[in-house]
Structure 1
Amino acid sequence: MNWARARTAGGREITGVIDGAMLHPRASLGASETAGEPLPLDSLTLLPPCVPGKFIGLWNNFHAAATRNGWTPPAHPLWFLKPASALAGPGATVTIPPAAGRTLFEGELGIVIGKTCHNADATEAEAAILGFTCVNDITSLDILNADPSFPQWTRAKGFDGFGVVGPVIATGLDWQDLTVRVLVGGRERQSYPASDMILPPAEIVRLLSQDMTLEPGDVIACGTSIGARPIKAGDVVEVVIDGIGSLGVTMA
């Protein structure tokens, strides 16, 4: 099942389930209650598939990147937050501010929370995952490392549009079968298996729920691996995960 969020030509925003070429409105994300007649997808503009109260990103969560960089694998997620204003969806134009300097794409698998959880055990954490989505965790590398006394994670990753999510939330996937790919101008620039994660999705949710209450619609970007590269104005950047889809934006 693929969940999506879209805007009609009249400006109404709808959350629902995609079936064929139609979006079937639901009362809320994850709900079984219908909320209107199905609408043709080609009459809608896709938005980020959820509006997260918390947009959480992870650092150092892939064995290959940790090995290459000499990092110690973490026992607990190393996390940061992106502001709500960083959220962007499929087809968006994302502007690189002059202050951002050298800016990278980071293709990632995203977890979307479907049930409130706090201090969850392993079973509860697994059940709290609604599904998975594509994420482009765009990052200003120059800002991140500009001040040696304080790595600026939030500022570097928090510009408007620097948190791209979509195109859908896919349920029923085995995350270990997924490959995260990034294309820039149609050329593959990043490709790595999700199965190389240090902390798997349910364990990420379990541990993060010890730090904060996770709520429906929250997004957790699982971190990236080897291959993140600089991007510039004019680049079309697509995060592609088979089973979820292609999440493309144009940099400006």
Structure 2
Amino acid sequence: MYWARGKTATDETVTGVIVNDSLEPRAALGADKVIGPPVPLADLTLLAPVVPGKFIGLWNNFKAAAEKNGHEHPTHPLYFLKPDSALSGPGATITIPPSAGRVVFEGELGIVIGKTCKEVTPEAAQDAILGYTCVNDFTSLGVLFADPSFPQWTRSKGFDGFGVIGPVIATDVDWRALTVQVLVNGRERQSYPANDMILSPPEIVSLLSQDMTLNPGDVIACGTSLGAAPVKAGMEVVVVIEGIGALSVTMAGPVPGA
């Protein structure tokens, strides 16, 4: 099953399940109740498939990258939060602010929470996962380490549009079989197996639920591996995860005089 969210020509936002090239509207994300006739996908502009209450990103959660960088394997997720204004979806144009400096893409697998959970076991955490989506966690390297006394995780990853989610939420994929790929102007720049994670999705959800209540619609980006690289205005960046889809955005520079 694939969940999606789109906007009609009359500016109505529809959340539902994709059925035969149409979006079947549902009462809420994960709900069974159908609330209207199907809307052809051709008549919709796809948005980020969910508006998360919490957009959580992980750092150092892949073995290959940890080994290359000399990092120990974490036993608890090392995480940051992206603000709601960072959210963007498929087909978005991402403007690189002048203050951001060098910006890199980070193609990632995203977990979407389907049930409220607090202090749950990994087994219960698995049941709380609605599905998976593609994430591009853009990061300003210039900002991140600009102040030697305080790595600025939130600011470097929180510029408008720097948290891209989509195009859909897939509920029936096996995360262990997935490969995260990033294409920049059609050329492969990143490709790594999801099963190289240090902490698995059920472990991530379980451990985070010890710190905070996770609610339906919350998104957790599982972290990235080797290959993240800088991007510039004019580039098309596409995160591809077979079984979920392709999440494309275009980079832009600041508008003169804005």
- Indicate the TM-score class for this superposition, using the shorter chain for normalisation: over 0.9
Distance 2:76 2:121 in 1: 15
Partners of 2:195 and 2:29 lie apart in 1 by 27
The aligned residue for residue 6 of structure 2 is 6
CA distance in 2, matches of 1:19, 1:90: 19
Aligned partner of 1:73 in structure 2 is: 73
TM-score normalised according to structure 1 size: 1.00
Which amino acid in the other structure matches residue 165 of structure 1? I
Secondary structure at the aligned position of 1:79 is classed as strand
How far, CA to CA, are the matches of 2:36 and 2:187 in structure 1? 40
Task: Describe how 1:133-152 pairs up with structure 2 within 5 A.
Answer: 133-152=133-152
Letter of the 1:111 counterpart: I
Q: Moved runs in structure 1, 4+ residues, more than 4 A?
A: none
Residue 20 (structure 1) shift: 2.2
Displacement of 1:14: 0.6
Query: Which residue number corresponds to residue 103 of structure 1?
Result: 103
Displacement of 1:82: 0.1
Supply the distance in 2 between the matched residues of 1:248 and 1:225 (Cα, whole angstroms). 19
Alignment of 1:196-207 (within 5 A): 196-207=196-207
- 1:154 matches 2:154: yes
Q: Where in structure 2 are the equivalents of 1:55-204 lying within 5 Å?
A: 55-204=55-204
Summarize deviations over 1:20-46 as a string: whole Å, max 9, x none: 211100000000000100010000000
For 2:18, the equivalent position in structure 1 comes to: 18
CA distance in 1, matches of 2:122, 2:213: 15
3-state secondary structure, aligned to 1:68: helix
Aligned equivalents of 1:162, 1:122: Cα separation in 2: 30
Structure-1 separation of matches of 2:174 and 2:20 = 22
Q: Which residue of 2 aligns with 1:236?
A: 236
Separation in 1, partners of 2:146, 2:208:
28
Letter in 1 for 2:136: N
User: 2-side partners of 1:81 and 1:124: how far apart?
Assistant: 23
Report the alpha carbon displacement of residue 52 of structure 1 after superposing the two structures with TM.
Answer: 0.1
Unpaired segments of 5 or more residues in structure 1? none
Residue correspondence of structure 1 range 221-232 to structure 2 within 5 A: 221-232=221-232
Deviates more, 1:79-88 or 1:122-131: 122-131
Please give the secondary structure, in 2, of the residue aligned with 1:183: strand
Cα separation, 2, equivalents of 1:222 and 1:122: 15
Which shifted more, 19-28 or 161-170? 19-28
Q: How many corresponding residue pairs?
A: 252
* Identity between Structure 1 and Structure 2 (%): 71
Look up the equivalent residue of 2:96 and give its one-letter code. Answer: I
- Three-state SS of the structure 1 residue aligned to 2:180 is strand
Report the Cα distance in structure 1 between the residues aligned to 2:86 and 2:184, rounded to whole angstroms.
Answer: 21
Q: Distance in 1 between matches of 2:121 and 2:162?
A: 32
Q: Residue 57 of structure 2 aligns to a residue in which SS?
A: strand
How far did residue 18 of structure 1 move? 0.4
- Residue 111 of structure 2 aligns to a residue whose secondary structure is strand
Distance in 2 (alpha carbons) for counterparts of 1:58 and 1:111: 11
Q: How far is 1:121 from its partner?
A: 1.2
Residues 98-125 of structure 1, C-alpha deviations (whole Å, 9 max, x = no match): 0000000000000000000000112210
| TM-score, structure 2 normalization | 0.97
